[in-house]
Structures are given as structure tokens and as C-alpha cells.
Amino acid sequence: MVTGDGAYIKRINRNLILQEIMNNGLISRAELSKITGLNKATISVQVQDLLKKKLIYETQQEHHAIGRRPIMLSINGSVGYVLGIDIDFSSIQFAITNIKGKEVEYIKINPETKDYESIVQLLTKYIQHYMNKFANSPYGLISVIIAVHGTVNNDEVINFVPKLQWKRKNLKADLELDIEIHIVNNANLSAYAEKVYSGQNDNLMSLMLTSGIGAGIIMDDQIHKGFNGYAGEMGHMIISPDGKKCPCGNNGCWELYASESTLLMELSQLLNRPTLTLKEIAELIERRDSTTMEYIKQFIKYLSIGINNMINLYNPETIVINSGILRIYPNTVKEIKSHLKSSISDYREITISKLGIKACVIGACAFAISKFLGISNLRIQDSDQFKEQTSVNNQTPELVNI
């Protein structure tokens, strides 16, 4: 039984009501009372307060039965907006969603610099631009969640980003903006996106195979961060002690054998093609080019070694793999499973993510919505808006020229 002062109980009830309104899309007061166990008087008081704050609105649901149409409650998405930013090695993604989780703007840019101070200036201009753009909505731009492909401690200070060679950077403080900002590991946000938008279970592991390998781990409905916040750096698990040299300082790290950046580089060399795009790899796979198919089979074997280790360490119910290449390669999951022969490995499902390159940045938006509304078990209905979308704007808008 939850105990505490009146304000605390009121806040818990408010968050519970908002959670059910968000997760159901449309819901009546009577249904809210039934699902939450709160009495009708409590529901009525809370709903009136939320209506006054413009966080929800009333609408009448169409029906063909005799009598009054029921009055339904829904989240008022347009009262506020959140910004998710994903800083990768060669690109930065920006996504704006309203507080209902609907995407209203998305761009991907390829900065010419990786210098930390220059990136801080670029981010500052973008964030200020969006703060101004949404200033006229009741809650404006509510908060910014920034994802980095490296270790972030519990104080949200960047410890190390191997590909960018950023060490001990306090990005939140350096931005010097009058808005709530959080710095989060990218893989954790990707895992959160799978849970919120794809309806995955509460014990899952999300593997991002983009510029390196990051693992986001959700255990018992909570993001697993570890002692200092560094859990999930599976890309730097050593699978070959005398293997290739990694920017992190060790040899034989997993991401040197099973990340998409490695695949693109090594397959380009094998095919004697200076550059190789995902589209070109898709064409090679469709033609069943022997060199390409043989290399990807070896790639999957190395990937499976790490997955087997992770299954034994964490016993996840679901493993979600985010890879554009493996999404188009035939029988990916079947081949991975063929390498998982240990009699002690236990999991329920391995699946390929449908959220693609946007997983991290929309996970950032969902994380911001959860914080703002106080919803611990967030589910967003319209997940199809993000699936399989790859169109981007690679031109840096004039407002961020630096």
C-alpha cells in the first residue's frame, strides 16, 4: 500500500491517470476508474485539473447505439514539444515530437567537423532555433534529450566517446541554455524506443550495430545502467585477445568484427570498391554476390558469439537487433540462431528492429515525454510513423552555419 502526504498521493494518482490516457489513446472517465481502481470523485478532480492545465482534452466518441455518445479523454499533444538529438560519428539526427509522441519534424545532418567545441556551438544554435519555433505553444519546447555513442556516468557527464575521442565532457553545462537537458547513452534510448513504440516486453536487450555496437538493457521494466552508468558497452567486449586494435585502447573488441561500419569498410576492400553504401549492399545481396554473401555469413558468426555471451549474462526475454543490412539480408535470425547451440542459453525471441536509424532519436523523445508527464510505463500508439523510414535531409540549414 502506498502511503505519504496528500500532495504525494495526488501526484501518483495524476501520473497513473495520464499513463492510462496516453496508453489507451482514448478513454472514458468510467474506464479510468475501472482500470486504475480510483473512485469516480478522485478521477473527476484529477481530470478537471488536467483539463485546466490543457494536458488533456475531451472528445465524443462516435457510436451507433441509442443514447448519448460517451465523452472520451485524450492527451493534448500540441500543448508542448520535445527534442531528441542523436550525435553519431558522422551524423547528427534531430527529431521533434509533440507530447503525444507524434513526430512533427526530423532532419539528419553531416557536420564537417567532429571538434567538440564546434559541435557544442552547432547544437546550441539548433536547440535555440527550436526553442524559438515552439515558444508560442502553452508549454513550448519542454526539454532536450541528447544521445551520445559512448559512456555517460550517472551525473550525465560524458566519460568517453571512442569514435569522436571525446573524454570527460560536461555537454549539459557547456550548452548553457535555459531549458531542461539530459545526456543519455544512445543504446539505452534505443532499447527504450523498442519498449515504448514497438510494444516489446519488460526484459529486452537492444543491439545497435551502426557506427559501433551498443547494447541497451531493460530489466524488469527499468533501464539497466550499472554502478556508474556504463553498463551496455558490449561493443568493447573482447572476443579476440590478440585481434584488431580498437580506438578504446584494447585489442579484439566485438564491434571490430560485427558492426556495420566494419562491414562497410571490409566489404569495400574485398570488392575493391572505394565506397559502399547500404543501397549498393542491398543490390549485391539481391544478386547473391558470392563475396558479399560469404562475408555476411562470417559477420553473422561473429555477431552470434557476442549475442551468446549476452544471453548467458543477462537472460533477456527478447533480443532486438538494429541493423539496416541485416534487415535486408535473407534468413538473418535463422542464421544467428544456428550459431546459438549452448544448452544453457535461454531466451524467447530474436528479432530485427523495425525502427531503423531513428530508434535512438525517437527513444530520446519518448524519454522526455515520460519525464514530463510522470509516466513510468509509457506506450505510444502510433509507432508506424517511424518504421522503415530512411529519408533524410543531409543539408545543414543556414541557421547552423559555423
pLDDT confidence band for 249 (50 / 70 / 90):
confident
**Confidence grade of residue 248 (pLDDT, cut at 50, 70, 90):** confident
User: How many C-beta atoms surround the C-beta of residue 175 within 10 A?
Assistant: 18
Q: What is the mean pLDDT of the chain?
A: 89
pLDDT at 105 over 90: yes
Q: Nine-digit cell at 184?
A: 543519455
- Per-residue pLDDT, averaged over 376-399, amounts to 56
Residues of the chain above pLDDT 70, percent: 91
Decide if 399 contacts 125 (C-beta within 8 A).
yes
pLDDT at 3: 52
Please tell me the pTM assigned to this model.
Answer: 0.88
Longest dimension (CA), the chain: 76
pLDDT tens digits, residue range 122-163? 999 999 999 999 999 999 999 999 999 989 999 999 999 988
CA distance 73 to 27: 5
pLDDT score for 56:
95
What does the pLDDT look like over 61-77, one tens digit per residue? 665 556 567 789 999 99
Residue ranges and CATH numbers for the domains of the chain are 6-75 (1.10.10.10), 80-192+358-400 (3.30.420.40), 201-353 (3.30.420.40)
